[in-house]
Chain A
């Protein structure tokens, strides 16, 4: 039953964009039909997911497909858990697109966007419920290609084309690795079915190779730090609701793949957990440091995705350590933190990207330093963005806090056992704390520059609030964030079930444990409420006694007539922190050459390169091209040359047929 519903959902979503392709360009009905079909699919899918949670031992489809002998699709608690963000975000984003990317103004690109939006959702859903490597890869490729077309929606802009190309290369590298992974899987287990590998009889080398292939292949999609190079450009170039689903949901498919694969591999050595924990801490720290140095709102948010993937990986690493050392409470806490952060990041990052889209819609720019004072002009967006910002910083009343808290508690628990090798994991705690602090700094910068103060440009001063179809999806996301934040007890049973589904090896060790006994989730909720009341009541008191407000600039050193240009910019706010991390960021400043007593007006600018792409990959590939330039002589695009190559190859092959010796003999003897 649940699988049936999900199959219906997949078909509805995959075909949702097709009517729009055949409608006249001026008609808005294609878009409306697509949104309706996506929403219907989402309802069907959510029902299926709900039933899947209640009856975890679900039916499994077996389709008459040659490539897969065994089960093709099926749903368990882990699949159901990852289905939720896909469906929620896909539906909300589709509604958001109605006024953000309306057919009327974007006649050329809107049908394309609708179509690939549907296929992206269908691909991700198929991947998540795939119980066979073939179904998984099919979903994976549908997802990857749809995402490519979504990123390059505005293909008339050079920036979008380049980002799309970089993404395409990255995703194909990942797919190549996954092919290797599943071929090896088939070799090791004898089938393409994704069922747990038997602990006995699997060679250490093969299992380790499987792990590293999975880490690289899925890491490329998830955006783990050295493999994140495609991410900032792609997220900045795509339309905002596409960025939201890419960042909030598609990155998680990499996490899902890794989580699923790890659950199938037997006897993980401690090295795996340690490595994942280390990668998580690195991604988290570097992600937020790079985010601090960005001037582009969407690039900044994209780097925060890297940071949050880091936090998710820290939870996963802790759980893997728990499996290695047989500590059920580490597994439960780490995995619950990891999974809950998957949901949470999906919610608040989507909210922030939709907010960024709303800002771009109202003010027509995404450069932070060209905005300002939007809180007055876009009150809804400002409030909802604030909710998202507080959530992403992991501050108490919101959901980000809960998942980070689970990881914190789990990491502290590794220290309860003195003189244990896993106690080294405790060094991840300060890393996590630092990530949180830097994230707060970063969002203070964003919120202060974008929403407070005075508008810095004409465009910002003419900004207007977005339509209801854009505000309502954001509102839903914000309410979800608040719900998880205030009542974390609600998600505890779901999390426990998903963790239990993850735990194949050794079966059901977490059964005796409950999340609520390890972490006082209920008390946490009420504590949060008290804290909130304690901070809101004085604020309300002050607000009720407020005097007349007027537009004034931020205090800026007591100048007599402060203007918008005297405000702190995002660069100046972040400068001290950027300087602190100068050795990693290597910011480049373009300073003017000022000479003479009355120099002409001049400008300065600074920017930070994308570390992997701009400093390693592009120079590397350029020198590669230079060194292999001679090969271009053979590859000129002239058909005559290619035919000549075929001829040469043909003659060489024919020459092997010729009985040279007999020929020579006959020529010489007779």
Chain B
């Protein structure tokens, strides 16, 4: 069981790097969706005794992160008629390298921090920190509105991984609430994307700065 878990964590880390290094937004959407599905599987593996609500929450997470949210975003992308993140602040290769460095650093520093309750998943904390930081890198270096949403999703995935440590403590309602939040925010951003596109004839969030006083 432990080996499977660790393999999944490594897969998640690899997906982070793929997301950082891919220029096509549609591919990034798919990568993030795959990451979301993996995250949905994780709690199923970590519990010894599965209860019905847990299965339900996993199923909801998988269907939302793997199907509904990517679907909405892909539709927004089609409507906006745009394929690539043209000019990221930091190039694709450099950001991959930064991502790798961050991963190494996180493992160096946090693999020694003892996960208080669980000894079976020593990779949880470094993976979660790395994923959060990858989300931040996406957020700070990409300018298109949709890429930003993807950054938020990766960031949220990182937080989700961290919450696996507390899996007994977090009640189902909270988890469902977070999922709902996510769905609504993606929904709204997809609508806003359309509006930004029409108003500025571009999806560049830097254009929004012209709205400030």
Report A's interface with B, CB cutoff 8 A: 636-641, 643-644, 646-647, 650, 654, 657-659, 662-663, 666
Contacts and interface: CB of A to CB of B under 8 A. Distances in A.
18 contacts: A636-B209, A636-B212, A637-B209, A637-B211, A637-B212, A638-B205, A638-B206, A638-B208, A639-B205, A639-B208, A640-B143, A643-B136, A643-B140, A644-B140, A646-B136, A647-B140, A657-B113, A666-B112
A637 B141 contact: no
A666 B139 CA distance: 34
A658 B109 contact: yes
A663 B89 CA distance: 33
Contacts of B205: 638-640
Given A640-B143, A644-B140, A663 B112 contact: yes
Interface in B65-105: 89
Contacts of A663: 108-109, 112
Nearest to B143: A640
A652 to B, nearest CB: 13
Q: Please tell me the size bucket of the interface on B.
A: 10 to 19
B157 interface: no
B89 A640 contact: yes
B130 interface: no
Contact of B148 (A639, A641, A659): A639
Given A637-B212, A650-B136, A658-B109, 9 more contacts: A636-B212, A638-B206, A639-B148, A639-B205, A639-B208, A640-B206, A643-B140, A659-B112, A663-B112
Nearest to B206: A638
Contacts of A657: 113
Contacts of A637: 208-209, 211-212
Nearest to B152: A643
Interface string B30-53: 000000000000000000000000
Contacts, number: 40
Closest 10 CB pairs of A and B: A637-B212, A637-B209, A647-B136, A643-B139, A644-B140, A640-B140, A638-B209, A643-B140, A658-B109, A639-B205
Contacts of A636: 209, 212
Interface in B97-155: 108-109, 112-113, 129, 133, 136, 139-141, 143, 148
Contacts of A640: 89, 139-141, 143, 205-206
A654 B139 CA distance: 19
Which one of A639, A644, A657, A663 has the greatest number of beta carbons of chain B within 10 Å? A639
A659 B208 CA distance: 41
Contacts of B139: 639-640, 643
A636 B208 CA distance: 10
Nearest to B141: A640
Nearest to B213: A637
B134 to A, nearest CB: 11
B103 to A, nearest CB: 15
Contacts of B212: 636-637
A101 B144 CA distance: 48
A646 B206 CA distance: 18
A512 to B, nearest CB: 62
Nearest to B108: A663
B182 to A, nearest CB: 17
B105 to A, nearest CB: 10
Interface in B165-213: 205-206, 208-209, 211-212
Nearest to B155: A643
A110 B107 CA distance: 64
Contacts of B112: 659, 662-663, 666
Which interface residue of B113, B136, B205 has the most chain A CB atoms within 10 A?
B136
A636 B129 CA distance: 28
A63 B66 CA distance: 51
A662 B140 CA distance: 32
A490 B171 CA distance: 70
Contacts of B143: 640
Contacts of B140: 640-641, 643-644, 647
A382 B73 CA distance: 69
Contacts of B136: 643, 646-647, 650
